[in-house]
């Protein structure tokens, strides 16, 4: 195994991962647009083979979103997910300026909450905060 983390991923590789984890491929134009407008993209490769991805969408201010954390099923449990989440958090940290604070938001897949909690993410709802919510448009 020759694992390398780079700051890019092709649309084809991104869709391979989506299919492998059961999220389904996006149409090429939409996937490309999402990747291009992300502030930070990780593509994890074993030689030429895509094995993982994660990305940060950030408004340049105080809100960022950790999206599309995916590891190929036959590469799961090797620490790749942990590494990519840490890299994503480190990227956001690196963008802080004097007096700034940035919130990283994510929506955990069902049962994946514990994967994120050890990085400091708060599970919602809790005593102070309501549940996260979402709304799909189209499709």
Ligand X SMILES: CC(C)(COP(=O)(O)OP(=O)(O)OC[C@H]1O[C@@H](n2cnc3c(N)ncnc32)[C@H](O)[C@@H]1OP(=O)(O)O)[C@@H](O)C(=O)NCCC(=O)NCCS
Q: Which is nearer to ligand X, 65 or 115 (CB)?
A: 115
Angstrom distance (rounded) from CA 87 to CA 47: 20
Of the candidates 85, 77, 6, 19, the residue with the CA atom closest to the CA atom of residue 48: 6
How many residues bind ligand X (CB under 6 A)? The answer is 18
Q: Which of 11, 41, 50, 70 binds ligand X (CB under 6 A)?
A: 70
Q: Does 50 bind ligand X (CB under 6 A)?
A: no
Find tokens 């983390």 and name the residue.
Answer: 5
Q: Using CB under 6 A, which of 111, 120, 130, 138 touches ligand X?
A: 111
| Residue 115 near ligand X by CB under 6 A | yes
Angle between helices 28-36 and 11-20 (to 10 degrees): 110
The answer to whether 109 contacts ligand X (rule: CB under 6 A) is yes
108 forms part of the interface with ligand X (CB under 6 A): yes
From the number of C-beta atoms within 10 Å of its C-beta (0-12, 13-18, 19+), residue 39 rates as middle
Q: Point out which residues bind ligand X (CB under 6 A).
A: 21, 69-71, 76-82, 108-109, 111-112, 114-115, 118
């Amino acid at each position: 195994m020759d694992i390398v983390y780079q700051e890019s991923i092709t649309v084809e590789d991104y869709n391979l991962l989506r299919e492998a984890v059961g999220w389904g491929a996006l149409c090429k134009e939409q996937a490309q647009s999402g990747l291009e407008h992300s502030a930070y993209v990780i593509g994890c490769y074993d030689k030429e083979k895509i094995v993982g991805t994660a990305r940060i969408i950030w408004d340049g201010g105080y809100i960022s979103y950790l999206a599309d954390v995916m590891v190929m099923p036959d590469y799961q449990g090797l620490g790749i997910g942990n590494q990519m989440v840490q890299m994503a958090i480190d990227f956001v940290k690196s963008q802080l300026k004097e007096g700034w604070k940035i919130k990283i938001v994510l929506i955990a897949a069902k049962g994946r909450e514990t994967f994120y909690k050890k990085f400091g993410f708060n599970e919602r709802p809790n005593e102070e905060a309501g549940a996260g919510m979402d709304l799909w448009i189209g499709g």
